[in-house]
Homo-oligomer: A and B are copies of this chain.
């Protein structure tokens, strides 16, 4: 059975032309075939998945009825371990589900299993490979969910983003990634890295699937993609780190701006005011100050079980002073207002999803900076697959919307996706 979208699956299950059991068994076959190479999953219990599928078939309705979902392994599940890719948590089963998981179960989804994360959603990589080329990274930290959705294991996956952990792996793996406005999605049961920026995100292969998945996580009737949208006003935002994007990424963004302009969009250049040229340093100060304290228990009781990478990250965070942290918090408030003001004249910002293709090797998961800017600002972001780079690996373009205007950015993203 060819991979289908969640939207198609729900419709077919409701129509009686497909069963969740058949869908889930087909996904399990795909995983059995592919995961020895892709290594997206850290926990899978096929009998439990099939049991949930049978229950979904027997049930009535539900926004995600019968659809299997991948859950990043820093998100709690009451019936599966949540290991955080850390020996400290290996094999430990939480007392309850994260709210986002429970909301999907409420929508009659099938919680398929747990996908590989970097250690504590930080830098130390897991074994997952890029489905397009196993000698390349899938990106991180939501490595497994991005790879699983890209490779057709499941139609939907949860990721989380503190720096660039949803948008970047989605771009590297060639799927759609959506980071909602900061604060809209519940974070209960998701290991907190940095409360000021942590954001639950979604991965799928189609924009209607993103809208459907969002509805379930918000426990609201999904707002369908507006298919009759007028051509948007686009602000082309190269960002202060444009020079760090690869030549093919720069060319892709320039070409995308031209192509969308030719399709009727207006495109203007927008730039950060000079005082925000170093806004990434403020993201670093906030995440550093918070994460050092957030891992107080692991540092005190299990320092030997933390990787050298996270140990170094936390140590740097511990050097951030309270004064520096406060200055960064105040600047982030001003930055949010600055970005808001850009939307007086445009509907969406166009910007790179990542500096380039996925890096070679599995030790480095790539540079999150094109994402961290927008994690700090709290704006909703969508990455769309947009061709391939010099090595034949996926490249993405990132669309950034006004905060709290997520329904609009999803429709704009669909408009753009149809014209790429």
B-binding residues in A (CB < 8 A)? 78, 88-89, 92, 95-103, 105-106, 183-184, 186-189, 192, 195-196, 218-220, 290, 292-301, 318, 322, 326, 329-330, 404
Contacts and interface: CB of A to CB of B under 8 A. Distances in A.
Contacts of A98: 297
A78 to B, nearest CB: 7
Contacts of A195: 183, 186-187, 195
Contacts of A326: 404
A102 B322 CA distance: 19
B293 A186 contact: yes
A115 B189 CA distance: 23
A254 to B, nearest CB: 34
A301 B95 contact: no
A218 B292 CA distance: 10
A194 B92 CA distance: 26
Given A183-B329, A301-B78, A296 B92 contact: no
B96 A301 contact: yes
A326 B105 CA distance: 25
Name the residue in A89, A186, A299 with the highest tally of chain B Cβ atoms < 10 Å from its Cβ: A186
A103 B296 contact: yes
A187 B192 contact: yes
7 contacts: A96-B297, A97-B301, A102-B297, A183-B195, A186-B195, A186-B293, A219-B318
A202 B328 CA distance: 25
Given A92-B95, A106-B300, A298-B96, A293 B189 contact: no
A78 B326 CA distance: 31
Contacts of A293: 99, 103, 186, 188, 218-219
Given A99-B295, A102-B299, A187-B195, 14 more contacts: A92-B95, A96-B298, A97-B301, A101-B297, A102-B296, A102-B297, A103-B293, A106-B296, A183-B196, A186-B293, A187-B192, A218-B322, A219-B293, A330-B404
A89 B94 CA distance: 11
Contacts of A404: 326, 329-330
A78 B297 CA distance: 9
Given A322-B220, A329-B404, A188 B78 contact: no
B183 A99 contact: no
* Minimum-distance CB pairs A-B, first 4: A102-B296, A102-B297, A186-B293, A97-B297
A184 B88 CA distance: 26
B89 A95 contact: yes
Contact of A290 (B186, B318, B329): B186
A299 B219 CA distance: 13
Given A95-B92, A192-B188, A102 B301 contact: yes
Nearest to A100: B296
A417 B335 CA distance: 38
Contacts of A295: 99, 188
A188 B96 CA distance: 16
Name the residue in A92, A98, A300 with the highest tally of chain B Cβ atoms < 10 Å from its Cβ: A300
A97 B299 CA distance: 11
A196 B183 CA distance: 7
A293 B185 CA distance: 8
Nearest to A405: B326
A187 B105 CA distance: 27
A377 to B, nearest CB: 13
A188 B192 CA distance: 6
Contacts of A95: 89, 92
